[in-house]
Amino acid sequence: MVKAIIAWIFIGIFMISCTVGVTVLTSEGPSVPAERTEAVPAQPPVARPAVPEAAPPEDPPAEQPQAQVVPEDQSPPASAGPARVEPPAAPERPQMDRIVERIKADRGIEKRFEPGENSGVTVSARIEDGADVFEAVYDLENARFTDGTGMRINFSVTDIQTGAVRRDSFVWKIGEDDAGVLLGFDDDFMDVWESYFDLFDAYHARVTFFVQGEYTDFCGRAQSRGHEIGYHTLHHLNLPKISRDEFLTETLSALDGFRKNGIPLLSFAYPFGLSEPWMHEVLSSSFGILRGYGTAFRIYHPSDIKQGYVSSKAIDNLLFKKDEDFTAMINIVLRTAKFLGGDAVVPLTTHTISDTANWGISPARLEYVLKTANDLKLKWYCYSDF
């Protein structure tokens, strides 16, 4: 019995020793020398992350093709197989190209103009192509001579339906036609006018002098140089402010004196450009054309002038403080008359010829008018020509 107890005691001690050995091995792990870690740099120990690490993706099978990235502006490659050959499309000119070419050809397009502020003018054309409508606008203000026979003109054309706009230019060939100028001088500056007869001759210009008062020999001399004499009343009164009897005296009483001396007096200019409808009826039996006066820019065709009344644009010094303003106005006015083509006529009116007079034109400005009209191949008209 005693031996059995002693045996169990030895067995218990042995079991306790084994348990302690296992515990020590589990908590400390195997011993690794420090130089062992440095000796193998390619395999450093990796610290365990705080959260589980996702498994790395598997390599795709060798036979699986990689996905192809196609840019947004590029179609994906065609599938394998023989390429399909499409027949070439029939050539078709875009509609806007046709319209632009028509404008550049400058034939068969009816142009129109609209006066604007400060003597500005808009020249445009409405062009129909089937059911579609296009609007062309010409920039005559910035046109430039390319040589002695043409000017380069910029233009824009707008598709009315879509709003699409195209800009281009063309060379406008300046040819001979019946477009022209009616240049008139008012009042009683006979001596001044006559001193410029040679200048008018130098530019082959014929003008109309609307004289006031009685007949003088100036009228015969001016007519012999190719100019016209029109009438401008006896005393330059404001006709709507006087009586009818005084009106008749002012406008008709001196006519016989002119006509007996070979001056037909076929045209009449209202003082200040002011009139009333009944005056046209009274004077139309004695004059073929009655002329008003103002700052507005107008263009007439011969058929309009023959109806018996026109209004002429003033070009006096008073209206243009700077020479560049004057030349810009003359350019656009005369270019418009010529560009409209055919027989467009623009009336212009001033008074004396002087650098200082408000109601007159300076010699330099007058010569600019004469030269510009000739450069544009405009004809010189008198009122009696109609």
pLDDT score recorded for residue 185: 98
Q: Using the predicted structure, report yes or no on whether residue 79 has a pLDDT greater than 70.
A: no
Q: Using the predicted structure, report yes or no on whether residue 344 has a pLDDT greater than 50.
A: yes
CA distance 71 to 61: 26
Question: What's the mean pLDDT in 65-81?
Answer: 42
Count other Cβ atoms within 10 Å, centred on residue 74.
7
% of the chain with per-residue pLDDT over 70 = 75
Mean pLDDT score across all residues of the chain: 82
Q: Using the predicted structure, report yes or no on whether residue 7 has a pLDDT greater than 90.
A: no
Q: Using the predicted structure, report yes or no on whether residue 72 has a pLDDT greater than 50.
A: no
pLDDT score recorded for residue 2: 42
User: Are 346 and 337 within 8 A, CB to CB?
Assistant: yes
Q: Return the amino acid letter for 214.
A: E
pLDDT score recorded for residue 341: 82
Residue-wise pLDDT tens digits, 272-305: 999 999 999 999 999 999 999 999 889 999 999 9
Question: What's the mean pLDDT in 70-74?
Answer: 39
Q: Interhelix angle for 323-339 vs 363-375, to 10°?
A: 30
pTM of the model: 0.74
SS (H, E, C) the chain: CHHHHHHHHHHHHHHHHHHHHHHHHHHHCCCCCHHHHHHCCCCCCCCCCCCCCCCCCCCCCCCCCCCCCCCCCCCCCCCCCCCCCCCCCCCCCCHHHHHHHHHHHCCCCCEEEEECHHHCEEEEEEEEECCEEEEEEEEEEEEEECCCCEEEEEEEEEECCCCCEEEEEEEEECCCCCCEEEEEEEECCHHHHHCCHHHHHHCCCCCEEEECCCCCHHHHHHHHCCCEEEECCCCCCCHHHCCHHHHHHHHHCCHHHHHCCCCCCCEEECHHHCCCHHHHHHHCCCCCEEEEEECCCCCECHHHHCCCEEEEEECCHHHCCCHHHHHHHHHHHHHHHHHCCCCCEEEEEECEECCCCCCEECHHHHHHHHHHHHHCCCEEECHHHC
Count other Cβ atoms within 10 Å, centred on residue 114.
9
The CA distances from residue 225 to 57, 193, 222, 372, in Å, are: 107, 12, 5, 22
Tell me which of 3.20.20.370, 3.20.20.70, 3.40.50.720, 3.40.250.10 is the CATH number of domain 180-385: 3.20.20.370
The side-by-side arrangement of strands in the sheet containing 111-115 is 111-115, 121-129, 132-145, 150-159, 165-173
The CA distances from residue 203 to 20, 145, 326, 378, in Å, are: 134, 19, 20, 11
Q: Using the predicted structure, report yes or no on whether residue 232 has a pLDDT greater than 60.
A: yes
pLDDT score recorded for residue 108: 87
Q: Return the amino acid letter for 149.
A: T
pLDDT tier at 10, thresholds 50, 70, 90: very low
pLDDT score recorded for residue 85: 67
Residue-wise pLDDT tens digits, 17-63: 433 343 332 333 333 333 333 333 344 443 444 434 444 444 444 44
Question: What's the mean pLDDT in 242-269?
Answer: 98
pLDDT score recorded for residue 115: 81
Q: Using the predicted structure, report yes or no on whether residue 64 has a pLDDT greater than 90.
A: no
Q: Using the predicted structure, report yes or no on whether residue 265 has a pLDDT greater than 70.
A: yes
- Write out the two tokens for 243: 């009586």
Q: Return the amino acid letter for 85.
A: V
CA distance 323 to 320: 7
- Write out the two tokens for 368: 């600019």
Residue-wise pLDDT tens digits, 164-177: 999 999 999 999 99
Residue-wise pLDDT tens digits, 153-210: 999 999 999 999 999 999 999 999 999 999 999 999 999 999 999 999 999 999 999 9
Residue-wise pLDDT tens digits, 87-143: 663 233 478 999 999 999 998 899 998 886 666 789 999 999 988 999 999 999 999
- For the chain, residues classed under CATH 3.20.20.370 are 180-385
Q: Return the amino acid letter for 188.
A: D
Residue-wise pLDDT tens digits, 317-334: 999 999 999 999 999 999
pLDDT score recorded for residue 107: 87
pLDDT score recorded for residue 28: 36
